[in-house]
Amino acid sequence: MPALPRAKKRFGQHFLTDRHYVERIVQAIAPARGDSMVEIGPGTGILTRPLVPHLAHLHAVEIDRDLAAGLRREFPPGKLIVHEADALEFDFDSLAAPLRVVGNLPYNVSTPILFRMSAIADRLRDCVFMLQKEVVDRMVAAPATPDYGRLSVMLQYRFAMALVLRVPPGAFTPPPKVDSAVVRMAPLGADRTRARDEALFARIVAAAFEQRRKMMRGALRGIVKPPAFEAAGIDSTRRGETLSVAEFIALADAAAAA
């Protein structure tokens, strides 16, 4: 294995180095030869190496040109296609669907990448990501729990979520100051419940959690008229953190019809 490069702070790099956790993550991904798969942030290639033998080919999106060059030197171009690009700008639509997206997400851009995945959910088979455990806790949180918020609702609107594995700081070089976790995101089927006006749904969810302690009638003043709460069967004195995804959809639909 090549020598470990120095982590670059501007890219939020923490290199996974513990092979025990590498094996467990690869088992969770369960790569198969026919998969259309892309790895975000392959870095030193520690996940790439055990993935490549299982696949006809693997795409990799790496922003660090030095790391991208190292990957190109190590792997045959027919087995690993390296895209030197920012995952926030990369055109995932250029890859064959249904697409499997995997990787150890940089902590500093993990949430924007998750929203990118949400935007292309219809083209995805699944995502298996490692990121900060506190972010994963928010992703999988249930209503009326401290971690439940905008991220929970917006991702659960598109995906079934599952926490797969917890990973301690010592599994990385340099060790981050927080625990990490692996999450699987599986897009909900075509028959999932959708909001009539998804832009309004997103606006309502954002406003509901902007000031968590506000009652819904106050947090959504100017967005949702009082009769819409009654039409949706939702008490306007509740706080946003108590509403399920289905209730947010119902409220958004009632507001759209008002």
Local structure of 232: helix, strand or coil:
helix
- Please state the φ and ψ torsions of residue 83, each to the nearest 5 degrees: -105, 110
Query: Quick one: pLDDT band at residue 9, thresholds 50, 70, 90?
Result: very low
Tell me the sheet residues that pair with 62. 84
Take residue 69 and report the two structure tokens written for it: 């060059």
**pLDDT tens per residue, range 54-65:** 999 999 999 999
Q: Helices 133-140 and 110-119: crossing angle, nearest 10°?
A: 40
Of 5 and 45, the one with more pLDDT: 45
**pLDDT tens per residue, range 66-90:** 999 999 999 999 999 999 999 999 9
Give me the pLDDT at residue 8, please: 40
Tell me the sheet residues that pair with 144. none
**pLDDT tens per residue, range 211-240:** 888 999 999 999 999 999 999 999 999 999
DSSP class of 239: B
Q: Please, where in the chain does CATH 3.40.50.150 lie?
A: 11-187
Give me the pLDDT at residue 108, please: 82
Name the residue among 150, 130, 152 with its Cα closest to residue 140.
Answer: 152
Take residue 2 and report the two structure tokens written for it: 């090549």
CA–CA separation, 159 and 139 (whole Å)? 10
In terms of CATH architecture, what is 198-257?
Orthogonal Bundle (1.10)
Is residue 108 within 8 Å of residue 135, measured between CB atoms? no
Of 175 and 94, the one with more pLDDT: 94
Taking residues 160-182, what's their average pLDDT?
A: 93
What predicted TM-score, i.e. pTM, was given to this entire model? 0.91
Whether the pLDDT of residue 1 is over 50: the answer is no
Q: Please, where in the chain does CATH 1.10.8.100 lie?
A: 198-257
**pLDDT tens per residue, range 91-114:** 999 999 999 999 998 888 899 999
**Which CATH class, in words, describes the domain spanning 11-187?**
alpha beta
**Mean per-residue pLDDT over the chain, rounded:** 93
CA–CA separation, 7 and 227 (whole Å)? 55
**β-pairing verdict for 99-104 and 180-187:** unpaired
Name the residue among 180, 191, 222, 175 with its Cα closest to residue 7.
Answer: 175
Residue with tokens 């190496």: 49
CA–CA separation, 194 and 73 (whole Å)? 46
From start to end of the chain, where are the E strands? Answer: 15-16, 36-40, 58-62, 80-84, 99-104, 124-132, 159-167, 172-173, 180-187
Give me the pLDDT at residue 161, please: 97
